[in-house]
Structure 1
Amino acid sequence: MSAHPEDWPDGLLLAYYGDDFTGSTDAMEAMTAAGVPTLLCLDTPSPELLARFPGVRCVGLAGSSRGRSPPWMDDALPPAFDALAALGAPILQYKVCSTFDSSPAIGSIGRAIDLGVQHMPGNWSPMIVGAPRLKRYQAFGHLFAAVDGAGYRLDRHPTMSRHPVTPMNEADLRVHLRRQTERRIELIDMVRVRAPDAAASCRALQGDDTPVVMIDVLDEETLAAAGRLVWENRGAGVFSASSSGLQYALAAHWRACGLLPATPALPAAEPVSAIAAVSGSCSPVTAGQIRWARANGFCVERLDLRRALDPRAGDAEIARTIDIAERALRQGHSALVFSAEGPDDPAVLDFDSIARDAGLSRQDAARRVGGALAEVMRRLLDRVAVRRVVVAGGDSSGEVASALGISALSVAGGLAPGAPLCRAWSNEPRRDGLEIVLKGGQIGDASFFGAVRAGRLPD
């Protein structure tokens, strides 16, 4: 298929709000690797900030809605969508996790869609969740994810079916989403998306009620086909609640048109002698990474949650872990402070009682844990000059990045898919230029922390 420069509009191609910080960097990585310069803002993008990056064609805004209630969304999302829509990109995205983390009460994707479609004129709201590069696959509306070489329907996934806040008990995304919105939900399945008349099928589903139209993505063929459907039916502008599958799909289509390089790539990162890391993830994948770090020379220290959430003992517990991590870093060792080691960790199994004893709801207690880890990282960086840091866990990533006074992030290098090495932009000289990785719980192999230190994945 041939294409011409005029097939791309001037200015931004895409603007997105990320429902957590790790997902926001995942989307940024997907676009940057494809050859689309991208900037991720940690606060509403100002003209002054954007003026520093004149070549940017995609802008993201990192948020925390994945762990928030619908009333919170009603207050926070409309001004964010307003600001992003004003940038003039033809696609406005609410970026969701590729495991569709959500429920009617927490992180409601349905509520976000009902709010978001009001900000774009389109008469449909495309949804792409499958992302083969991240081992996420959607077939006939059902979502699957692969872990350690084995594929699982999401409601039988070893982590997502047991997620402490938004456990997935339904793999059919149409059924799952109908619990969160009364909006019409349609599907272009893996057979229809490959068909010659896929575009006609797409147009037939559109309407004044602005339905959600899910598009199956199972492989590279369906990925590019999905991207073509969205791009060629964007009209005067559409709103899409999608994972980074949307970024991968658009890039695949643009690449097929000759608008992007055939071989996407990210810059190579240099090794560093030591890194500082904090982890609030409960994932078994992260647990394996913590075990690897412990066995491979990292100083690994647990943040005791019962003490950390106790108003009388919290500061002392934070100070204790900082002292241990500081000593390790000054001796040339990498340091990792964590709050849980997998879903069967006593800190996870007893979390409800820990929260009750602290006089907190489960949701508020989870946020406090992220805040405690953020305080560990902030104070640690004030004491020791560290070039590269890692945060594991979506909620923790948001708390840490916010606490460090970072204005924006750009991709500095590639590591594991979905967890790039980022360069921090800040008005604070101590933070400007900091290299940071925000890692979702399911991302990376066992040696991930070592790969961050080495600047590359093992051969």
Structure 2
Amino acid sequence: MISGTKTGAALPEGLLLAYYGDDFTGSTDALEAITAAGVPSVLFLRPPTEEMRARFPNARAIGLAGSSRGRSPEWMDKELPPLFARLAALGAPVLHYKVCSTFDSAPHVGSIGRAIDLGVRQMGGGWSPMVVGVPRLGRYQMFGNLFVTWNGTTYRLDRHPTMSRHPVTPMHEADLGRHLARQTDRRIALIDLAEIRAGQAQARCDALRGDDTPVVLIDVMDEATLVEAGRLIWENRGDGLFSASSSGLQYALAAYWRSLGLLPEAPGLPKASAVEKIAIVSGSCSPVTAAQLAHARTAGFHTERLDLSHALSDVHREAEISRAVATAMDALSRGLSPVVYSAEGPDDPAVAGFDATAAVAGLSRADAARRVGTVLAEIMRRIVESGAVRRVMVAGGDSSGEVMEALNIFALDIVAGLAPGAPLCRAWSDDPLYDGLELVLKGGQMGPTDFFPQVRG
């Protein structure tokens, strides 16, 4: 099925891929995907200087973690072009805008369409391929529709128990082309499963490309279609291209390179060592995280709910932060692993009443959500700076971004594998207190029920 395979091919010198992650958990997901394939990689938390880059002389893929998933199109217009320009200047043939594998986005927040328009303006090219399916994560795209596996059952995206009622970007459409069309006027096309199976994918790709640089979705449902997606992108990269994709892009490229013998056969990642205790903050509303939180409680973790009305209040915020930190430090002193959380699943009254709580504090929903993230970030910062723990975790994409911005860390690389999409990372910092800190940034949908104890080991 894979047409155009080249014998004796070799990967070019220099960087193979540069990417911007639309949130921090997705950024480490992408970092894991390409690192586990055997491609040395690093994720920067701010635009890297030459001095920063010099610490990673063997890196063949470079990422930059961002927060655009929770931002407006106006914010993107201002912030993304200079970041895309800096990444493009690194010279990698593919510039990747990493999106969530559940396609979290809307016209007014986290607009993937707006990011594509800005990225294509930077890179040009005859097409902008899009790979969203990630079989390893239980994400499958068939005839343009996205399906997601959760708790052993595979759902069409618009019927998924979490994503169909996501508090910020509810997904009411599984057809990704239709969903994306609300975010951009760019031509959107599809290379579907039937065309791939019939060996017509290259001909379809040739017919679709044009000066208007269309977005071209590529169906991925298994290893064979993943390899073909990687082949289409790599062999049709031209002088460079822009791709808004999930970590499926990294998995696809690696699968194709592996099929050519250019990468080792599934080298994988080391197993994480155990530690006595960890500290966790969670801003996730996902039922996956809720189940993990409940399991952690039964496994001996100390769980502490954040009082949202106090966290959002200018008067009571500092006292609430101090209370949560004191509780966490007491748990650590007793050998327990603390979890400070803002909600326990989408049916939590704190979620249902969040708009009202925000209104009392005089905040919009978006500003209130960001405030919760900054409170969790300050709690984590104080815990880390106490020196009481050297492995921490953040649950929730937006929360991860706020926490990482509060810590004195400039880059991450991979230490070990845990659950797919949520690896154990190592921090790089000029501050000895943070340098070498181990972190897990877990998206709401990631990890098995016993994931919190797995992180501790």
Query: Common fold, TM-score beyond 0.5?
Result: yes
Which of 245, 260, 277 is 1:257 aligned to? 260
Q: Equivalent of 1:97, from 97, 100, 103?
A: 100
Structure 1 residue 47 displacement after superposition: 1.2
SS of match in other structure, 2:62: strand
Task: Give the whole-Å Cα distance in 2 for the aligned partners of 1:118 and 1:452.
Answer: 41
User: Partner of 1:328 in structure 2?
Assistant: 331
1:412 to 406, 412, 415: 415
Q: 1:181 matched to which residue of 2?
A: 184
TM-score where L is the length of structure 1: 0.98
State whether residues 330 and 384 of structure 1, in contact with CA within 8 Å, keep that contact through their aligned partners in structure 2: no
- Residue matched to 1:374: 377
Amino acid in structure 2 at the alignment position of 1:46: T
Does 2:195 match 1:208? no
Amino acid at match of 2:434: R
CA–CA separation in structure 2 for the residues paired with 1:46 and 1:240: 24
TM-superposed CA distance for 1:2, in Å, is 5.6
Aligned to 1:457: none
The AA in structure 2 aligned to 1:186 is A
Counterparts of 1:166 and 1:430, CA distance in 2: 37
Distance 2:177 2:378 in 1: 40
Q: 2:52 aligns with which of 49, 53, 64?
A: 49
Pairwise CA RMSD of aligned residues? 0.9
**1:82 partnered with 2:85:** yes
Paired residues of 2:332 and 2:388 also in contact (CA < 8 A)? no
d(CA) in 2 for partners of 1:440 and 1:216? 23
Is 1:167 the counterpart of 2:170 in the alignment? yes
Q: Distance in 1 between matches of 2:208 and 2:72?
A: 30
Q: Percent identity?
A: 67
Picking from 155, 160, 164, the partner of 1:157 is 160
- Measured against aligned partners, the alpha-carbon deviations of 1:331-357 in whole angstroms (never above 9, x if no partner) come to 111111000000000110000001101
User: Can you give the 5+ residue segments of structure 1 that lack an aligned partner in the other structure?
Assistant: 455-459
Question: What CA distance in whole angstroms lies between the structure 2 residues aligned with 1:336 and 1:138?
Answer: 35
* In structure 1, C-alpha distance between the alignment counterparts of 2:264 and 2:14, rounded to whole Å: 19
Q: 2:234 aligned with 1:234, yes or no?
A: no
Report the secondary structure of 1:390's partner residue: strand
CA shift digits 1:352-377 (9 cap, x unpaired): 00110111110010000000000000
Q: Deviations over 1:117-141 (max 9, x none)?
A: 0111311000000000000000000
CA separation in 1, counterparts of 2:43 and 2:7?
Answer: 28
| Structure 1 CA distance for aligned equivalents of residues 200 and 360 of structure 2 | 60
1:9 Cα offset (Å):
1.2
Does the Cα contact within 8 Å between 1:194 and 1:225 map onto a contact in 2? no
Q: Which amino acid is 1:28 matched to? A: L
Cα offset, 1:312, TM superposition = 0.5
Secondary structure at the aligned position of 1:191 is classed as: helix
> Partner residue of 1:11?
14
**Unmatched 5+ residue regions in structure 2?**
none
> Residue 3 of structure 1 contacts residue 259 of structure 1 at CA under 8 Å; is this kept in 2?
no
SS at 2:148 equivalent = strand
Amino acid at match of 1:48: E
1:365-407 Cα shifts (integer Å, max 9, x gaps): 0000000000000011122331100000000000111101110
* Among candidates 206, 220, 224, match of residue 221 of structure 1: 224
Q: Does 1:316 align with 2:293?
A: no
Match of 1:191 in 2: 194
* Residue pairs, 1:217-366, within 5 angstroms: 217-366=220-369
Report Cα offsets for 1:141-192 as digits up to 9, x if no partner: 0001010110101011000011000000000001000000000000000111
Structure 1 residue 263 displacement after superposition: 2.3
Q: Deviations over 1:257-296 (max 9, x none)?
A: 0001112310222100000000000000000011011111
SS in structure 2 opposite 1:213?
A: strand
The 2-side partners of 1:427 and 1:69 are apart by: 33
Which of 146, 149, 154 aligns to 2:149? It is 146
One-letter amino acid matched to 1:267: P
Taking the aligned partners of 1:299 and 1:98, their CA distance within structure 2 comes to 31
Corresponding residue for 1:441?
A: 444
Looking at structure 1, the residues matched to 343 and 387 of structure 2 have their Cα atoms a distance apart, in angstroms, of 25
Mapped partners of 1:233, 1:389: distance in 2: 41
Secondary structure of the corresponding residue to residue 411 of structure 1: strand
Distance in 1 (CA, whole Å) between partners of 2:338 and 2:214 is: 48
CA distance in 1 between counterparts of 2:77 and 2:176 reads: 23
Shift in Å, 1:199: 1.2
> Of residues 384, 389, 395 in structure 1, which corresponds to 2:387?
384
In the alignment, the residues of structure 1 paired with residue 420 and residue 45 of structure 2 have an alpha-carbon distance, to the nearest angstrom, of 21
The answer (yes or no) to whether the contact 1:186–1:205 under 8 Å persists in 2 is yes
- 2:373 and 2:402 in contact (8 A); partners too: yes
Verify: 1:112 aligned to 2:112, yes or no.
no
Code of the aligned partner of 1:328: A
TM-score by length of 2: 0.98
> What is the DSSP-based 3-state SS (H/G/I as helix, E as strand, rest coil) of the residue aligned with 1:267?
coil
CA offsets 1:58-108 (integer angstroms, 9 cap, x no match) = 000000000000000000000010000000000001000000000000000
Say which SS state the counterpart of residue 193 (structure 2) adopts.
coil
- 1:18-75 Cα distance to aligned partner (Å, 9 max, x none): 0000000000000000001110000012111111111000000000000000000000
